[in-house]
Amino acid sequence: MSYVVVDVESDGPIPHQYSMISFGAVILDSTLDKTFYGKVKPVSPFWIPEVLAVSGFSRQQHENFDGPLKVMQEFRQWIKVSSLGKPVFISDNVAFDWQWINYYFHFYLKENPFGFSGRRISDLYCGMKLDTSRTHEWKKLLRKTKHDHNPVNDALGNAEALLEMKKMGLKIPIL
């Protein structure tokens, strides 16, 4: 089993009506050197300028990215060669990131290699601390890479936090 830490940037709140802009993924292992970066052209004519701006890309740049079929095929192949056993999706905000990756995999490839579930880092941390109010604490304490909305950097910071949580006693398989 391999944990794949994923982060998504989009131009709106929901798939199909809006578009994924980019996403990053990191295999959770001791080196954190297996990364993927996908930039996806819009699938909808709608976008929210303030939300798009968070990514650092203009609409014109976004429109020149690769098509989603190509990017999702590349991501599926990267997962296949980079992970061992069943890949497990994990992210900072699984409710947001999962919906985009799941939608794009199913819409363009008719399958999601992650299956039907994912894990949320904040919930793992809160469980370790036995306190559900500590949902954001780990972000400041355990990330090393700055959270800058580059999805590879953000996924890397989240993977670093998971490695720190393992040192704190979290039982999580690391390649």
Which of the residues are catalytic? 149
Query: How many angstroms separate the CA atoms of 75 and 145, rounded?
Result: 23
What integer is the mean pLDDT of 89-96? Answer: 96
Domain chopping of the chain, boundaries: 2-167
What 8-state DSSP symbol labels residue 15? Answer: B
- pLDDT > 70 in the chain, percent: 100
Q: Answer yes or no: CATH 3.40.1360.10 is held by domain 2-167.
A: no
In this structure, the number of other CB atoms found within 10 A of the CB of residue 144 comes to 12
pTM given for the model: 0.96
* Per-residue CA distances from 114 to 57, 67, 74, 166 (Å): 28, 21, 15, 22
Predicted pLDDT of residue 172: 93
- pLDDT tens figures, 97-108: 999 999 999 999
Question: Quick check: 113 and 106 in contact, CB under 8 A?
Answer: no
- pLDDT tens figures, 28-79: 999 999 999 999 999 999 999 999 999 999 999 999 999 999 999 999 999 9
Cβ-defined contacts of 125-132 (< 8 Å, 24+) = 125/161, 125/165, 128/165, 128/168, 128/169, 128/170
In this structure, the number of other CB atoms found within 10 A of the CB of residue 24 comes to 21
Query: How many angstroms separate the CA atoms of 131 and 115, rounded?
Result: 29
What integer is the mean pLDDT of 129-133? Answer: 95
Is residue 173 very low, low, confident or very high in pLDDT (cuts 50, 70, 90)? Answer: confident
Is residue 174 very low, low, confident or very high in pLDDT (cuts 50, 70, 90)? Answer: confident
Predicted pLDDT of residue 118: 95
Query: How many angstroms separate the CA atoms of 12 and 52, rounded?
Result: 7
